[in-house]
Structure 1
Amino acid sequence: MSTDKKSKDTRFKPGQSGNPAGRPLGARAKALAALDALAEGEMTDIARAMIEKAKEGDTTAGRLILDRAWPMRKGRGITFELPHVSKVDDLPEAIAAVTRQVADGEISPDEGATIISLLEAHRKAIETNEFSDRLAALEERMGKP
């Protein structure tokens, strides 16, 4: 068993690709490009055939067509009550309001968790702003620019 280390000459340089002549980023694989070219002239016929299948009651064909035409939303807007939050002291009341709405079934637990995480981000923003103001006041008192 050899304990010789590889020479540093064979290692890749930082920021240099191992295959600079390889497929560019974002380029489609050759197999997918070939399939695209094959189906290019047939798309209208394929779509018509899928629509006919859906009309005949093929639910899979119908689902495929609808998924293409109207993709599922990744999220939805919700309406909920939330007191105004302008300082950290307002957050316990806001979190209690969200918790109450989850408990009452007005919003789902997942929606409540998302709202709480938004309130947490809001808290961090408020604290960062307050810290910046306090630091500026201290620097002013100490005579720093």
Structure 2
Amino acid sequence: MTQPRKTHAGTRGKPFAPGNPGRVPGSRNRATVAAAAMLDGDAEALTRKAIELGLEGDTVALRLCLERLVPPRKDSPIVFDLPPVTTAADVVSASAAVLSAVGAGEISPDEAGRVMTLLTAHRAIIETSDHAERLAALEAAASTPINRRRA
């Protein structure tokens, strides 16, 4: 019979145990701190060199410079007519408006897909709220004195 292997798991704290403070907020990785210390003082010269290389036609340096100047585009608002959605039935007319906007070239199919996802989630929220209201009304009706006498 073989002996079970001894591990060090029992000697150190469990990473997600209650009371384990974890990493101090704001602390940085040792490698990041070391790299920052090595670059300290040379950051301006390195930036200048990257700009010079970019201006000379080095595509990698040019891309690096442009990525810092013009960050990747995030979502931007889209504008098109969408009817109010207050009931689950209103989602049908709203989705028709989204499809019409795609057909007219007002919004892209990708944007339409994201709007449809929002409409679907909103419909689910409306339906859940409606079901809760209906259930509360049924429970209230079942607990009235008239219904208790019939039972």
TM-score by length of 2: 0.72
Which residue does the alignment assign to 2:15? 17
Question: 1:24-81: CA deviations, max 9, x gaps?
Answer: 4785543333222111221111111112222333333232122123311232221122
The structure-2 alpha-carbon separation of the partners of 1:35 and 1:76, relative to structure 1 and needing over 3 Å to count, comes to same
In structure 2, the gaps of 5 or more residues are 17-21, 145-151
Which residue does the alignment assign to 1:31? 31
* CA drift at 1:93: 1.1
Q: Which runs of 4+ in 1 moved over 6 A?
A: 4-7, 9-12
Question: 1:59-113: CA deviations, max 9, x gaps?
Answer: 3323212212331123222112211111111111111111122233321111111
The question of 1:128 aligning with 2:128 is answered yes
In structure 1, the gaps of 5 or more residues are none
CA distance in 2, matches of 1:129, 1:60: 54
The structure-2 alpha-carbon separation of the partners of 1:97 and 1:5, relative to structure 1 and needing over 3 Å to count, comes to farther
CA distance in 1, matches of 2:43, 2:133: 61
CA distance in 2, matches of 1:49, 1:42: 11
CA distance in 1, matches of 2:64, 2:72: 12
Helix, strand or coil: the match of 2:106? coil
Moved more, 110-119 or 79-88: 79-88
Larger radius of gyration: 2
Helix, strand or coil: the match of 2:71? coil
Moved more, 101-110 or 119-128: 101-110
- Number of aligned residues: 137
The question of 1:60 aligning with 2:85 is answered no
Which residue does the alignment assign to 1:86? 86
